Amino acid sequence: MSHRVDPEDRAVLDAWHAVGFLETTGPAATRTRLLGVALTIRRAACGTIQVLAEGRDTPLPVAERHGCLWTSLGTPPATPLAIPEADEPDRRLVCCGSIDVHASGLRVVENFLDMAHFPFVHTNILGAEPQTEVSRYHAEWRRDVDEVWATDCRFHQPRAALSAAAGQDTGYIYRVASPFVTLLYKTCPNDALRPDVIALFVQPTQPERCRAHPVMFLIDDISAQADLIQFQQKIFLQDRIILENQRPRLLPLDARAEIPTRADSLSVAYRRWLKEKRVRYGATGAASGG
């Protein structure tokens, strides 16, 4: 079975995908995969980065944004997603290291959007029993920007961030900008008005495998960079155990494959949006009938 992306999978082909961190992209050629296609990445002496794909003579489009190198196998928009908060001068950019996951990238995004697992997977950090209920929130497909958002999300968290001195009632806003690109805005322990921003850029390497690139844009001028990275990696490695045990590894887009509950309404919106976009890579039961 080929792991190559289907030429008709336009939403996936024409998207920008993060394929690594800029801080680790040097003059030595590195290899990676995107949508089943082998890539070679190299930074030239003049500083520009070139991405070559197997079987193609011309280099792929590239963009440097949000600490990451982005590329596309199709015809992408002018730039990767905008994150206006990222430009605030006192934000700290924290690139948390790339992590390989043996699961569909779509499942990794869906897990990122789920609050219900906090007390059970991130126990005593992002949640704790007995406060396990996900209260009602609002999920929607914003057709003007073609993104999925969830607002009015709240969860009580023992340690919402490395800098959190005590438990707090954390407000969340979730945003899915493209099928493999998502971010959240959550109450910052250090700023009453501005939220922390945590992004997850997922690089689908094969249908059932991906590489996750978590990036944080924090208001925190105290914590050491290494400690911030370690905090986030610990959380992500807890997620990876759950993700790699999910079956099927592909994300089912057949409506009958799931029994939605109120807590899942963002997941349902995400799957509907993927289905409507006819996303195939990393999915099962969607547009397979053509």
Q: List residues binding Fe ion (CB under 5 A).
A: 239
Minimum distance of Fe ion from residue 238's CB (angstroms): 6
Q: Which residue is nearest to Fe ion (CB)?
A: 239
Minimum distance of Fe ion from residue 236's CB (angstroms): 8
CB atoms within 10 A of CB 65: 17
Q: Which is nearer to Fe ion, 16 or 118 (CB)?
A: 118
User: What b-and-e string marks burial along 260-274, b requiring 16 or more CB atoms within 10 Å of the CB?
Assistant: eeebbbbbebbbebb
Write the CB contacts of 36 (distance below 8 Å, at least 6 apart in sequence).
2, 3, 4, 5, 205, 206, 207
Minimum distance of Fe ion from residue 19's CB (angstroms): 23
Minimum distance of Fe ion from residue 92's CB (angstroms): 22
- Spell out the SS3 assignment of 103-155: CCHHHHHHHHCCCCCHHHHCECCCEECCECCCCCCEEEEECCCCEEEEEEEEE
Q: Which is nearer to Fe ion, 70 or 185 (CB)?
A: 185
The two tokens of residue 126 are 């992002």
What is the H or E stretch that residue 271 is in?
helix 265-276
Coil/strand/helix, residue 54? coil
Cα separation, 87 vs 191, whole angstroms: 17
Q: Is the peptide bond before 195 cis (omega within 30 degrees of 0)?
A: no
Q: Which is nearer to Fe ion, 11 or 181 (CB)?
A: 181
Minimum distance of Fe ion from residue 200's CB (angstroms): 10
Give the closest residue to 186 by CA, choosing from 215, 218, 210: 218
What is the H or E stretch that residue 12 is in?
helix 10-13
> CA neighbours within 13 Å on the CB side: how many for 41?
24
Q: Which is nearer to Fe ion, 239 or 264 (CB)?
A: 239
Minimum distance of Fe ion from residue 273's CB (angstroms): 21
Write the CB contacts of 123 (distance below 8 Å, at least 6 apart in sequence).
129
Minimum distance of Fe ion from residue 117's CB (angstroms): 6
Q: Which is nearer to Fe ion, 51 or 128 (CB)?
A: 128
Minimum distance of Fe ion from residue 230's CB (angstroms): 16
